[in-house]
Structure 1
Amino acid sequence: MSTYMVRKQTFHLRLLFLFLSTFLLLETVRVPAPVSAASANAPSAVCGPGCNRYDVVVIGSEIEGVLLAKEAHAAGLSVLILDPREKPGGELIQGQMLVLDEPNDNRKRSLVQGELKPLYDGYKAGNIRKLSAFESYYRKLIRGIPLRSGITIDGVEIEDADGQGKVQGKTLKSVTYLAKDGKLYQVQAGYFVENTDFNALTVHLGNKRIPGMESLYNGKKPDYMAATYMLRFKGVNWNKLHQAVLEDYPLTNVVKKYGANTYVDWDFATGFSNLTYNYKPRDSRLMLRGLNATYQKDGEVIINSLLVYDVDPADPKSVRSAVARAKAEAPYIAKYLRKHIPGFGKAELNGYPDYLYIRDYNRYETDYVVNYKDVMSGRMFWDNVTIGGYAVDLQATRVVKKGVGYGKPDRYGIPLRSFELKSYDNVLVAGKNVGAEIKAYGSARIIPTTALAGETMGILLAREWKQGHKRLSELTPGDFRRIHQYLKKDYGIRIDQ
């Protein structure tokens, strides 16, 4: 090879080396590209074969925990919802619990706040009454959040938070679950959230059960408020129902004829217990209590009245059996209402929900368990995450035949500690899993109360834990004075009084 060719080749090799060196140098100092919403909410790490790590993993798709997931997701945290039910939506969508109860204080001021307020405003205005409108609202909440339905928790991995073998201070490191494809998967998370109506997660974590309805009468076995199967009708003449009750006024006559708490306006109806309690179900595990009905427009009505005893929401066979029994009874109830309730003369059944409204099941100890005195005294906590005010309403069981009320509180607070599972530094509970003694639970269980707590906790996970690098259990009274200020300023949520 000529001297010229050797020099030329050497020159080209030097150019190539210079190019590669410059490229590698640029790679090491490159400014990271802006993180997209999709990548921000993707799993934050792979933790082994078949394992992903997220900031927050929510077990169950009840609306209370979904609101937590929504806030965390919107702030850029990686969030995953694992739902043991076959379809998402829980009691609100699958159970069609579309009769919304509203907490208020003793001055009749609504306590509904946050993301749930548009739902309640639409409901009261008549714009959100039918299932399709509720489904549209719910879809917006879960938009963009990864959700996997039909899973079964197979196991959990727990470790000591301090690594020193102490009984107190545990961390839930991972959850292994069986998916519909028959394969096992593992997820790790900074925080796990129990958001089912049957403790799909917390049943594995070893905490003590908070006594239920049996504590009211010193029962030896756990007892739970009855579930409800929602009844849907079409062809109802609501104007006739309304007019019939108006014609029976004064109120003393209405109560004498139809029973206590009978009331009808252009949108809602309650009571008629003198008639409903005379209905004799064909199945002893069912009872028709007083009506709690919402007019959905166009002659359609949905009623929260058919109680179902002995439902174990943790047992799919028990749930299927309860739904089947309620469906079988529904045509007989329709016939009875046609005969006895004004405006129902031509009413027909209008479809069936796939699931139940579960009021009550096992709840496990949290760092603070709210009691009846807290509720009735209007106690406010330094770490309030929600405000309640609904009447203490405990529904029927086989023993407590017609349910019982224990008064109407003014506004009261529920602390973050009542949503932090005792002994765990990274497990939160949502919705009906709130830590409350049974009488306090009769008020605290209402969706708007625990939904606001879920939303607040989602905000705290983003701003205090992920951004502030502080576990929620480490937050101080000073922190919460600051937190309550920005919740009011930035989110319109007032929970400090």
Structure 2
Amino acid sequence: MFKQRWLALASSLLLLVGLTGIILGWMYLENNSTRMNFPHQPLLQVESAEEPKQEYDVIVAGTDPEGVAAAVSAARNGLSVLLVDGRDREILGGLMTIGWLNSLDLNYSPEQPLFGKHNFLNKGIFQEWYDQIEGTSFDVNTAANVFYRMVKGEPNIDVLMKVQSMEPIVTSGGAAAAVEGLRIADRSGKTFEVRAGAVIDATQDGDIAAMAGVPYTIGREDIGRAEDQMAVTLVFKMSGVTQEVWDSFGRIGDGTGIDKMSAWGFPKARDYVSSNPERVGIRALNVGRQNDDTVLINAMHIFGIDPLNPESVREAMEIGKKEAPLIVDYLRSTYKELASVQYAGVAEELYVRETRHIEGEYRLTAADVLDNRDFWDAIAYGSYAVDIQRINHLDRGAIVMAPQQYGVPFRSLVPLKVDNLLVVGRAASFDSIPHGSARVIPLGMATGEAAGAAAKLAQEKGMTFRELSASRDAIQELQSRLAEQGMDLAWAKFPVPEYAKHKHYKGLMAAVSMSLAFGGEFNEAFDLDGASNAERFANSMAMVKTVHADYFTGNPYAALEGLDEPSKLPLTLEQLAYTVCLTAGVNADRNGALSELTARGWLSAETVQSVVDPSRLTNGEVFSLVRDVVKNYAGAAYE
């Protein structure tokens, strides 16, 4: 009897193991399948209101994904909403659907399942939308239709498309001005003054905030380089990408990879020589698949464009239209896998990465992202790498760091000097370096969802957004409401990064904040224990001079005079001090510079004593010494 029971149990266990293996094997094959059989959808026609009502609870300016999320969230919280498009669009989704940015820069949670669906941060309305599209890339018609169905499903939302202009109605008085609504000229030119208890600026460039008088910086102005902003892109299309052609991408063998909807790599694309190298180039390809044997390519960089100037934008479009077919010809001749594809046009709108960064109640910093920092008022989380695209044709761009998870404070949506206004998406209150991560659309949609819920809470409590942002009780209630409507604001579990355990971590924090250090895709390039050299440090001090121009007026490269091949010379403590003195305009010789800095209190004894070998400084030691100088002389503490 015992033997029979044992055999029966063993048979049951074997059957269970076998079934589990079959299920896991099926899940593996399904997750790794590249076969795509989604239908290509005709576009739904967006129904626009004939004219707006005189008053709404909320006006959302901008029909990009962030605006859609804000409008849907506000409506689901019981508010009447006007969603306004001011860019002559026929459909919702903006950058994704008209700019053709159909490959998603995703905010993955540090906690991922072994099999099954990706686990994203924030979830909420973004997850609801994502679950209805094809995957990591999508057909733009599908995306536009899902956005519209979500909006149309909310009877509290009026959509007003193709307005000729929209500007804030601003009243002054008290501690801050207040936005009371928008003055709108519809497609026929008829003007309406539409009042609202709150306005959410979801325009790509923070247009409403700027017109209302909110202070802001442009591009990399916050680190002394106002003329620099990331290149714009014109996405282009290639046709003839059948399943056979798609699968061939995965066999190229040069690091190019594919999943069902996205392809990445094609590194030889970087060798393309454009017809106008100072104005346009390309990087390795991001390829987003569509449901009609076409793909959309995000790779072209167009330099020297002012996205806030319509004439400059038109120039960019002309440059891109000329270059796109030439790029396709190059790709066809370079990769045999692309030999049969055809050029099939360009997007109607530019992909603009960076313009205004508004000044809010809190400004997200590089240190926040490097430190994987949570906030008491976090209403969204980011994890995408800090990806700074090329500034000009000589620049190569950089991945500054790869965070695990960082919070976005509600205060970063609340602009200074103007009430009744929230700013969501890439124009929110982020410094230019963390903006390289926080600009991505999934995070922007999370900020939009939070703004929509906050409008209801502020209305109920009779508070301004500024007052709400200062109330821990009110923010806690906002976070609870967001969780109830499907957002995930939990902090994931992940190990402390190795760089954060290093004794010179505070120095690294300062270096990253001043664009002196870059970690790469896996934070592997910080190289805190690697040796520095005299020339590299002169370059670093040139950047410090740029960031803190009022304090460093001298020439760091003068410290290299008389040195033979300074790029090969280990950096000594004396050479560092001498370079700092010359950059700061301090009269000192090479041998007396260290004593001069110590006497002035610019270098702390503790930091100097932490140097292991004064004749051969490491990168980490350099960062800590520079941190001392900038903090004690220029008064800038990067914490």
The residue correspondences of 1:26-425 to structure 2 (distance < 5 A) are 52-87=54-89, 88-89=91-92, 90-108=94-112, 109-123=119-133, 125=135, 129-143=138-152, 144-153=157-166, 156-160=169-173, 162=174, 168-210=175-217, 212-213=219-220, 215=222, 218-219=224-225, 221-237=226-242, 239-240=244-245, 242-243=247-248, 245-246=250-251, 248=253, 254=254, 262-282=256-276, 284-398=278-392, 401-425=395-419
Change (3 A) 1:354 1:243: closer
1:431–1:447 contact (8 Å) kept in structure 2: yes
1:103–1:110 contact (8 Å) kept in structure 2: yes
Q: Indicate which of 446, 471, 476 corresponds to 1:452.
A: 446
Match of 1:39 in 2: none
Q: Indicate which of 468, 475, 478 corresponds to 1:480.
A: 475
Q: In the TM superposition, what is the alpha-carbon distance from 1:440 to its structure 2 partner?
A: 0.9
Structure 2, unpaired ranges of 5+: 1-50, 113-118, 492-639
1:62–1:431 contact (8 Å) kept in structure 2: no
AA at the equivalent of 2:290: Q
AA at the equivalent of 1:66: V
Change (3 A) 1:234 1:394: same
Q: In the TM superposition, what is the alpha-carbon distance from 1:466 to its structure 2 partner?
A: 3.0
Q: In the TM superposition, what is the alpha-carbon distance from 1:198 to its structure 2 partner?
A: 2.7
AA at the equivalent of 2:462: H
1:239–1:266 contact (8 Å) kept in structure 2: no
Q: In the TM superposition, what is the alpha-carbon distance from 1:100 to its structure 2 partner?
A: 1.0
TM-score (norm 2): 0.62
Q: In the TM superposition, what is the alpha-carbon distance from 1:227 to its structure 2 partner?
A: 1.4
AA at the equivalent of 2:479: H
Q: Give the match's secondary structure for 2:206.
A: coil
Q: Indicate which of 420, 429, 435 corresponds to 1:426.
A: 420
AA at the equivalent of 1:133: T
1:172–1:426 contact (8 Å) kept in structure 2: yes
1:233–1:350 contact (8 Å) kept in structure 2: yes
Q: Please give the alpha-carbon distance, in whole angstroms, between the structure 1 residues aligned to 2:96 and 2:141.
A: 12
AA at the equivalent of 2:261: D
> 1:243-279 CA distances to partner (integer Å, 9 max, x unpaired)?
465363xxxxx35xxxxxx433443222223333333
Q: Please give the alpha-carbon distance, in whole angstroms, between the structure 1 residues aligned to 2:310 and 2:292.
A: 35
Q: Which moved more, 1:140-149 or 1:298-307?
A: 140-149
Q: Please give the alpha-carbon distance, in whole angstroms, between the structure 2 residues aligned to 1:71 and 1:176.
A: 23
Q: Give the match's secondary structure for 2:478.
A: helix
Q: In the TM superposition, what is the alpha-carbon distance from 1:155 to its structure 2 partner?
A: 6.3
2:364–2:429 contact (8 Å) kept in structure 1: yes
Q: What value does the CA root-mean-square deviation take over the aligned residues?
A: 2.6
> 1:365-387 CA distances to partner (integer Å, 9 max, x unpaired)?
01100001111212111111111
AA at the equivalent of 2:179: L
Q: In the TM superposition, what is the alpha-carbon distance from 1:443 to its structure 2 partner?
A: 0.7
Q: Which moved more, 1:469-478 or 1:447-456?
A: 469-478
2:107–2:382 contact (8 Å) kept in structure 1: yes
Structure 1, unpaired ranges of 5+: 1-41, 45-51, 163-167, 249-253, 256-261
Q: In the TM superposition, what is the alpha-carbon distance from 1:471 to its structure 2 partner?
A: 3.2
AA at the equivalent of 1:70: V
Q: In the TM superposition, what is the alpha-carbon distance from 1:350 to its structure 2 partner?
A: 2.7
Q: In the TM superposition, what is the alpha-carbon distance from 1:354 to its structure 2 partner?
A: 1.0
Q: In the TM superposition, what is the alpha-carbon distance from 1:214 to its structure 2 partner?
A: 5.1
Q: Please give the alpha-carbon distance, in whole angstroms, between the structure 1 residues aligned to 2:190 and 2:389.
A: 40
TM-score (norm 1): 0.79
AA at the equivalent of 1:310: G
AA at the equivalent of 2:199: F
Change (3 A) 1:198 1:125: closer
AA at the equivalent of 1:286: V
1:271–1:290 contact (8 Å) kept in structure 2: yes
Change (3 A) 1:74 1:156: same
Q: Give the match's secondary structure for 1:177.
A: strand
Q: Which moved more, 1:276-285 or 1:327-336?
A: 276-285
Change (3 A) 1:136 1:337: same
2:168–2:179 contact (8 Å) kept in structure 1: no
Q: Please give the alpha-carbon distance, in whole angstroms, between the structure 2 residues aligned to 1:69 and 1:445.
A: 19
Change (3 A) 1:437 1:281: same
Q: Give the match's secondary structure for 1:460.
A: helix
Change (3 A) 1:281 1:265: farther
Q: Indicate which of 451, 461, 481 corresponds to 2:455.
A: 461
Q: Give the match's secondary structure for 2:251.
A: helix
2:308–2:355 contact (8 Å) kept in structure 1: no
1:413–1:495 contact (8 Å) kept in structure 2: no
AA at the equivalent of 2:177: K
Change (3 A) 1:141 1:247: closer
Q: In the TM superposition, what is the alpha-carbon distance from 1:75 to its structure 2 partner?
A: 3.3
Change (3 A) 1:312 1:82: farther
Percent of counterpart pairs with the same letter?
A: 27
Q: Give the match's secondary structure for 1:467.
A: helix
Match of 1:9 in 2: none
Q: Please give the alpha-carbon distance, in whole angstroms, between the structure 1 residues aligned to 2:215 and 2:102.
A: 33
AA at the equivalent of 2:477: R
Change (3 A) 1:124 1:83: closer
Higher strand share: 1
Change (3 A) 1:238 1:283: farther
Q: Indicate which of 435, 457, 466 corresponds to 1:441.
A: 435
Q: Give the match's secondary structure for 2:233.
A: strand
Q: Please give the alpha-carbon distance, in whole angstroms, between the structure 2 residues aligned to 1:339 and 1:204.
A: 48
Q: Please give the alpha-carbon distance, in whole angstroms, between the structure 2 residues aligned to 1:79 and 1:486.
A: 19
Q: Give the match's secondary structure for 1:456.
A: helix
